[in-house]
Structure 1
Amino acid sequence: MSLLERLNEDMKQAMKNKQKDRLSVIRMLKAALQNEAIKLGKQELTEDEELTVLSREVKQRKDSLQEFENAGREDLVEKIRTELTYVESYMPKQLTEEELTELIQQTITEVNASTKADMGKVMGAIMPKVKGRADGSLVNKLVQKHLS
């Protein structure tokens, strides 16, 4: 089942259950996916392109969450947290820090990296492997730790 089909099914269920918050998030995700398809001039997005859109939506919500927490807006913090859980439910299973560390070490070996100057090579090689399954800032931090 494609992501769009899954969103349609979940949208129907949210309507039946009168879950307004969930329904608005699903509609927003569908709109984001359709806008991306239009932007790319395609009828349907590939799984990779769908993952890119979902990752972007998660990142936007995490950034908003951080800003609202800094501003002390607890009313908005709760709303964004709820949205974030709904959006993350469509993401693939996230890698644990141990799995990520193992993958980073393999990649460092593959590209023969040894110093921080090789950071770009390692990041370029690892990001496609972990796309949608790990936060980019965490990957960056772990790569730096292993190259120092």
Structure 2
Amino acid sequence: MIRDAIKSAQIEAMKAGDKDRLAAVRLILAKIKDRDIELRTASSTPDDDAVVVDVLQKMVKQRRESISMYEQGGRTELAAREQAELDVIETFLPRQLSEEETKAAIEAIKAETGAESVKDMGKVMAVLKERHGTVIDMSKASGLVKAALG
């Protein structure tokens, strides 16, 4: 489980005295705990790894946006710190599908659902997220689905 890997990484970082990695791992664990608290009131509890991956993907997206804003503002030291956090977060994410693999999955879903035009994009995206949501960057997949249906 990803959650266990993150907890063991926290212990390793403490033993190694790697303060930057430890801070990033603690941040990840805090975000996961926040999500756990949110899900207490939910009627159905999703798979644990899916929850953790969702949290990590959101953190990655936030870091990438922050890095671009810091670089535009000339704050390279802050961009470097965000990049260091991003590198730690990405070590816990499962391997993402390549663009070719993503296109193949889209084509399979498109054939399966009978999608032919952009009007069917929501249907294809829903199936894609259900099956491959943890290993695909859905923002990039959106553009690929649109291109495949256009």
TM-score norm. by structure 2 comes to: 0.90
In the other structure, the counterpart of 2:4 is 5
Within 1, Cα distance between the matches of 2:112 and 2:142? 17
Cross-structure match for 1:147: 149
Match of 2:28 in 1: 29
- In structure 2, the partner of 1:112 is 114
- Corresponding residue of 1:135: 137
CA RMSD of aligned residues (A): 1.9
* Cα shift at 1:66: 2.0
Q: Partners of 1:141 and 1:147 in 2: how far apart?
A: 10
Fraction of identical pairs, as percent: 31
Residue 81 of structure 2 aligns with which residue? 79
Residue-by-residue CA offset, 1:63-91 (whole Å, 9 max, x unaligned): 21222122221111111111111001100
Alpha-carbon distance in structure 2 between the residues aligned to 1:132 and 1:63 = 20
Identify unmatched segments of 5+ residues in structure 2: 42-46
Q: What residue number does 1:102 align with?
A: 104
TM-score of the superposed pair, with normalisation by structure 1: 0.91
Distance in 2 separating the partners of 1:3 and 1:113: 34
**Cα shift readout 1:21-73 (whole Å, capped 9, x = no counterpart):** 1100100111111111112118xx72211221111111111121222122221
- In structure 2, the partner of 1:59 is 61
Report the counterpart of residue 13 of structure 2 in structure 1.
14
The amino acid across from 1:135 in the alignment is: D
**Separation (CA, whole Å) in 1 of partners of 2:120 and 2:40:** 36
Q: How many Å separate the matches in 2 of 1:4 and 1:143?
A: 31
